[in-house]
Amino acid sequence: MTITRETVKKVAHLARIEIKDDEETQFADELNKIVAWIEQLNEVNTSNVEPLDHAVSYSLRMREDSPESNNHASDILKNAQETVLDFFSVPKVVE
């Protein structure tokens, strides 16, 4: 067992997802199966192979730095659950 309940707990914390105690065991089982399955990639010798993160090569384009009228604060804030003035609001972070 590479993935224990502790691992699941740690990963869930990294991902900021609250999961219930009984889910931890289930996820550990499922993740173990999946990880055991992806281990087959180790059969392949990739020592001289470059990683490919995008199928097409592209470089970021430059554009004119000209003003556009979009992304207005009032439109964007409409989807937020809590706002104060023109800001998003979250639970207090600093005491």
Partner 1 sequence: MSKQSELCTLTIASAKEKLLKGEITSVELTEAHLKQMDAQKHLNAFITPTPELALQQAKESDKRYQKNEAKLLDGMPIGVKDLFCTKDTRTTAGSHILENFVPPYESGVTSKLWSNGALMVGKTNMDEFAMGSANITSYFGSVKNPWRKKGSNTPENLVPGGSSGGSAAAVAGNMCLASLGSDTGGSIRQPAAFCGLVGLLPTYGRCSRYGMVAFASSLDQAGPLTKTVEDAALLFQGIAGFDPKDSTSADVPLPNFQKALTGNIKGMRIGIPKEYRLDGMPQRIEKLWQEGIDWLKDAGAEIVDVSLPHTKYALPCYYIIAPAEASSNLARYDGVRFGHRAEGKTLNEMYAKTRGEGFGREVKRRILIGTYVLSSGYYDAYYVKALRIRKLIRDDFMKVYEKVDALLTPSTPNPAFEIGQKMDDPLSMYLNDAFTVTVNLAGLPGLSIPAGFTDDELPLGLQIIGKPFDEGTILNIGSVIEKSSGFLEKARLIRGN
Residue 60 carries which side chain, given as an amino acid letter?
Answer: L
Contact 69, 63 (CB under 8 A): no
Structure tokens at 16: 């900021």
Interface with partner 1 (CB under 8 A), residue from 1, 4, 6, 13? 13
CA distance 95 to 92: 7
Angle of CA points 51, 57, 61, to nearest 5°: 130
Residue 22 C-beta: closest distance to partner 1, Å: 12
Interface with partner 1 (CB under 8 A), residue from 22, 55, 65, 84? 55
Q: For partner 1, give the closer residue by CB, 44 or 85.
A: 44
CA distance 28 to 2: 9
Q: Does 66 bind partner 1 (CB under 8 A)?
A: no
Q: Does 88 bind partner 1 (CB under 8 A)?
A: yes
Radius of gyration of the chain (CA): 23
Given the rule CB under 8 A, which residues bind partner 1?
A: 3, 7-8, 11-19, 27, 30-31, 33-35, 37-38, 40-42, 44, 46, 49-56, 58, 60-61, 63, 70-72, 75-76, 78-82, 88, 90-91, 93
